[in-house]
Amino acid sequence: MDSYVKKNEIRLNTFEFLMRNSEPTIKDQFIKSNFCEYVFLEFIRDYREFNIQFSKIDLEFLAFRRSYPLRLEAISLVNTALTLKSHAPQIYSEILMYARRHMLIRNEMATL
């Protein structure tokens, strides 16, 4: 589990760095590769839980044993893109378009 947490943090920090980068071609590559669509099609809808039934885990991690790691990571990516609107307006627009297309808010409200 420790490895997953560290890798997750590295992925999110890398994404944030790329969004803050002043080179526009990096951000354009996210759009050309359909990254945002993939986040909405695959990861936001992924409700698979950690499989840690037989793993030795820390007590601090017990609260997260029934979480959805890919889904939560996707939500963090969306949140980062929305927060960094001024640094990556094209990614911000792309995220909003896919959020509308996939009815993200309505679907999230239904899960409450």
Domain that holds residue 104: 2-111
CB 69 within 8 A of CB 8: yes
Average pLDDT over residues 50-71: 62
Main-chain phi, psi angles of 21, to 5 degrees: -65, 145
Q: Is the pLDDT of residue 22 over 90?
A: yes
Give the count of domains, the chain: 1
Q: Is the pLDDT of residue 54 over 60?
A: no
Q: Is the pLDDT of residue 27 over 80?
A: yes
| Mean pLDDT (the chain, rounded) | 85
- pLDDT tens-digit map of 85-107: 999 999 999 999 999 999 988 98
